[in-house]
Structure 1
């Protein structure tokens, strides 16, 4: 009996408390959260399913029991990948009973997933899996080595086939970890390919901050607090040196190194980059995706990349392409600018596909856009 009871005693000793389950996803798709904080006076939960207060998700009070455990149960939640924090006496922290964490710029959240519908694309299902690698490459245009994340589809290693490439770009404050972590890119691609809805392709996720060699904590700079806006952000340097990334990929991977085999897409700042890279190199990509994109550069920024905007956009149109795809949420703060850009394209007669969704500038939308955009590629 002593031996049988030891594992549970040891676990409590190691973790400093009872074995609490949080979050607990109930059969009716409500979710219960629990945290032990006997001395706390006020405990709240803040989750991205709650109505937002500006940029910040709302919060709700948790209820304390006689054992000092605070509890909160949600209303029924739709299938989705969700994030949340616990706020104890005004201090935001993570749930110590949930080991699943994710970083967005300088904020860390717990995550959980409710099965079904769209969210099934974000799960690791019993299907063939691709490979995710972090690769360092030389960037002569930036006079440094830099890091990118690359997804290769199932079977790539044992094949002699050449594959098309999607260059997938992150937003401001992100890095080469953003799409693979927050965007669930590997899971989405594995599942869409297994379902026969997307062609097997390589997905290249570079770091879009030319002032960084790699994500925070992954370069010789060491551990430091990430920030939103870095030097050379949206000043033309990244666009001007993007060929360094293409050259590395086409020298080191079996790819279809032509316009028909290349796509570029990105969210927010990455949508801005995708717009201007595809226009600056106007005969390079047959597929362009702008997810909640920023559109025009700051008027104070001077770069040849942003010169002759209308003329180079017209040249891109005249060269021809197979898909120019734009997605934006109705509550997105960039909605007005996307509307104005669409009016410009309409006046030019430049064809595009437009997707308008609910919600704002959020990863929920960008995961949906990726899962809708990729099946349209390389057909």
Structure 2
């Protein structure tokens, strides 16, 4: 009996090894996406029983979509054609400009990622496949042959939250915790539903910093990528709730708690890193909800940050009556400018649903003679714009 059992076990083990070897050596039979020599891009998907397959992504011309906020630009859609052996294919009839793009397939009504492309982005609970067309600004988003900084996942005690919380901290190439050199600090904030990983994974923040610093276009700096969801310890899957589904419906996102807690983060960073611990050595920026947080952190702490950047800021989108932090906005804004910050920088897309809120805010500052810099881009509330804004904002810092 023992001999028979052993033979069965050995046979199963051998089958497992053979299957593993086949998976290891055979590799994927479909290549997608393919950046062709003429600059076009080919997408393929294996679906032998499918009736219709489409690809949707920000590399395609936009289409109008209806949202609760009105009609705005959305990702374009193109149809794949079925070829041999059930492989569907689409090749662009244009050359996508250098950029980092995301896309998904739709197979008979079901949205799926490209299972032949291992590069996947998570935006809240949505998964998209990703690729980069090299050249121009897009080269800032790729790993280049330059000195690289280090990204650490760091926990700090938050008295406001009542538990430990996690930060992502970038230190530039050559940073020595025992050395004499001190560095300025940039605090980078995400949008609603994001976390301390969002700017690293989708925003390519570490690559942007590495490349700009190596090119001499930016000062070597520490960057702190925060989690703006004060009810969370850390990113989904990295906290005590386990593998719960990420959601934008989190408590305490835009009611003042995170802004109130922010000096804790600054104090922690100054006490644990070689920082220039004064206003002239600090900058803060954020996208959407993070732009909203940036605004209120800056005007409630006018002696803390010398540079502030608001990317597609969610101005006016909050439960402002819940906290005095949002009271006396005009007075706090006037005090902020009376302290003569080096830079307030604003970026927004022409078709962003927050475009009017941002232009209204700038009209208010214009009427009061309050200085700022503004960059307007094509497109809407998308990571492509936010990467551009970060790469434009960073070289302006710590001059």
The TM-score range, normalised by the shorter chain, is: over 0.9
Partner of 1:38: 48
1:304 offset after TM fit, Å? 1.4
User: Match of 1:67, SS?
Assistant: helix
Which residue in 2 is equivalent to 1:249?
269
Alignment of 1:77-226 (within 5 A): 77-157=96-176, 159-226=179-246
Per-residue Cα deviation, 1:281-329 (whole angstroms, up to 9, x for no partner): 1111110101111112536632011011111111111111111111111
Residues 255-294 of structure 1 correspond to what in structure 2 (within 5 A)? 255-294=275-314
Say which is worse superposed, 197-206 or 226-235, in terms of deviation: 226-235
1-structure distance, mates of 2:278, 2:317: 28
Offset of residue 157 of structure 1: 2.9
Q: 1:372 to 1:17 in 2, by over 3 A?
A: closer
Give the match for residue 26 of structure 1: 36
Structure 1 unaligned regions, length at least 5: 1-7
1:237 paired residue number: 257
Deviations 1:13-52 (A, max 9, x none): 5699862211110112211111211111111111112213
What's the secondary structure of 1:301's corresponding residue?
Answer: helix
Any conservation in 1 of the 2:291–2:311 contact (CA below 8 Å)?
yes
C-alpha contact (below 8 Å) 1:176/1:205 kept by paired residues: yes
Residue 271 of structure 2 aligns to a residue whose secondary structure is helix
- Counterpart in the other structure of 2:376: 356
Secondary structure of residue in 1 paired with 2:104: strand
Instruction: Tell me the SS of whatever aligns to 1:242.
Output: helix
In 1, Cα distance between the equivalents of 2:35 and 2:352? 30
> Does the CA contact (< 8 Å) of 1:274 and 1:290 recur in 2?
yes
Partner in structure 2 of residue 322 of structure 1: 342
Q: Structure 2: how far apart are the matches of 1:59 and 1:258?
A: 49
What is the rounded CA distance, in whole Å, between the counterparts of 1:35 and 1:295 in structure 2?
41
Aligned residues: CA RMSD: 1.8
Q: How has the CA–CA distance of structure 1 residues 149 and 299 changed in structure 2, closer, same or farther, with 3 Å as cutoff?
A: closer
Task: Count residues with an aligned counterpart.
Answer: 372
Counterpart for residue 4 of structure 1: none
Deviations 1:123-145 (A, max 9, x none): 10000000011111100111110
CA contact (8 A) 1:12 1:19 kept: no
Kindly provide the CA deviation profile for residues 58-80 of structure 1, in whole angstroms up to 9, marking residues without a partner as x.
32111111311111111211000
Please name the residue that 1:5 is paired with.
none
Structure 1 ranges of 4+ moved more than 4 A: 8-18
TM-score (norm 2): 0.90
CA distance in 2, matches of 1:31, 1:221: 40
Matched, 1:58 2:90: no
**Kindly tell me: are residues 11 and 285 of structure 1, through their superposed partners in 2, closer, same or farther at Cα, counting changes over 3 Å?**
same
> Structure 1 residues 10, 225: closer, same or farther in 2, change over 3 A?
closer
Alpha-carbon contact 1:297-1:306 (below 8 Å) kept: no
Task: Find the partner of 1:68 among 86, 89, 94.
Answer: 86
In 2: Cα distance, 1:56 partner to 1:217 partner:
29
- Conserved 8 A contact 1:12-1:18: no
Taking structure 1 as reference, are residues 374 and 322 closer, same or farther at Cα in structure 2, changes over 3 Å only? same
Following the alignment from structure 2 to structure 1, what is the Cα–Cα distance between the partners of residues 320 and 172? 42
TM-score (norm 1): 0.94
Report which of the two structures shows the higher radius of gyration computed on alpha carbons. 2
User: Whole-Å Cα distance in 2 between the matches of residues 152 and 213 of structure 1?
Assistant: 22
**Is residue 286–residue 294 contact of structure 2 (8 Å, CA) maintained in 1?**
yes
How far, CA to CA, are the matches of 1:369 and 1:229 in structure 2? 26
Unaligned stretches of 5+ in structure 2? 1-17, 66-72
